[in-house]
């Protein structure tokens, strides 16, 4: 907020465009779709007005993701693909695995599993080529979710989720570890492995001392309560 306020005071188009873009990215990481779209739209308008092609492509990606999250599937996916093409057309590489992960995530939300898996595969190829691995864990998580949706194979999905958790722990990426662990916990819950699911999720959830108002941690708390309830019901039945 401070950077956006300062950028407005400076009244420099590229500085304000960047500040709004970074603010939108932070909101996306917090999974706040409406705020992401508002900030990205403001940044995109400035970028287009002043011919800032790199910023235009990135903010277009952020806006497309936010639109899909709010149910505007066709519009959001089209915007994501258009912005991704523009980003690659100017020869940009940095951040590409994350942007392809955003595309995969939106395809998953739309039930387009083949397209989602293709985007994940492309992102992992970029990682092998560039060694930009900071978003790698979430790509394995997404691959597991997409495989589960496509074939219902719990074995393949579990392998992906475990790989995602391992990579996240190696990078000390707690938020990505939490997301991957939630995916695994849901799978184990559906397989009747409630106690194991609760144990592994509680271990990572307890590592967080702040951010409990973010969607990831709110969903983790709900899932933990559900798993505790299932465990109590099982004990009563026994």
Percent of the chain, pLDDT > 70? Answer: 97
Closest CA to 161 of 172, 150, 176: 176
- DSSP code, position 210: S
Q: Does residue 214 have a pLDDT over 60?
A: yes
Name 69's Cβ contacts closer than 8 Å, sequence gap at least 6: 31, 33, 36, 76, 109
Please write the tens of the pLDDT for every residue from 20-33.
999 999 999 999 99
DSSP count for the chain of H helices, then E strands:
12, 0
C-alpha distances in Å from residue 143, one per residue of 28, 52, 83, 114, 146: 20, 33, 22, 11, 5
Output the pLDDT for position 237: 52
Output the pLDDT for position 178: 98
Q: Does residue 232 have a pLDDT over 90?
A: no
Output the pLDDT for position 93: 83
Q: Which residue has the higher pLDDT, 139 or 231?
A: 139
Q: Does residue 238 have a pLDDT over 70?
A: no
Output the pLDDT for position 236: 53
H or E segment to which residue 126 belongs: helix 113-130
CA–CA dist 80, 125 (Å, integer): 19
Please write the tens of the pLDDT for every residue from 50-61.
999 999 999 999
Please write the tens of the pLDDT for every residue from 86-117.
999 998 888 999 999 999 999 999 999 999 99
Output the pLDDT for position 213: 94
Would you say 200 and 181 are in contact if contact means Cβ atoms under 8 Å apart? yes
Please write the tens of the pLDDT for every residue from 124-183.
999 999 999 999 999 999 999 999 999 888 999 999 999 999 999 999 999 999 999 999
Cα angle 64-69-199, degrees, rounded to a multiple of 5: 130
Output the pLDDT for position 142: 97
Output the pLDDT for position 234: 60
């Amino acid at each position: 907020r401070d950077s956006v306020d300062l950028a407005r005071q400076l009244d420099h188009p590229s500085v304000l465009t960047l500040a709004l873009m970074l603010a939108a990215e932070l909101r996306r990481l917090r999974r706040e779709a409406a705020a992401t779209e508002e900030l990205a739209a403001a940044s995109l308008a400035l970028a287009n007005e002043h011919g800032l092609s790199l910023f235009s492509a990135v903010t277009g990606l952020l806006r497309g993701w936010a639109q899909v999250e709010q149910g505007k599937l066709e519009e959001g996916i089209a915007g994501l693909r258009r912005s991704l093409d523009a980003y690659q057309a100017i020869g940009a590489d940095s951040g590409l695995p994350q942007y392809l992960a955003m595309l995969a995530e939106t395809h998953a939300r739309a039930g387009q599993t083949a397209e989602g898996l293709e985007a994940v595969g492309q992102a992992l190829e970029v990682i092998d080529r560039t060694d930009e691995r900071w978003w790698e864990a979430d790509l394995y998580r997404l691959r597991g979710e997409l495989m589960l949706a496509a074939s219902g194979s719990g074995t393949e999905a579990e392998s992906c989720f475990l790989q995602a958790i391992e990579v996240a722990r190696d990078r000390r990426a707690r938020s990505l570890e939490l997301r991957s662990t939630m995916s695994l916990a849901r799978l184990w819950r559906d397989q009747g492995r409630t106690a194991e699911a609760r144990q592994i999720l509680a271990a990572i959830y307890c590592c967080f001392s702040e951010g409990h108002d973010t969607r990831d941690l709110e969903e983790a708390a709900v899932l933990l309560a559900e798993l505790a309830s299932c465990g109590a019901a099982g004990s009563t039945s026994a």
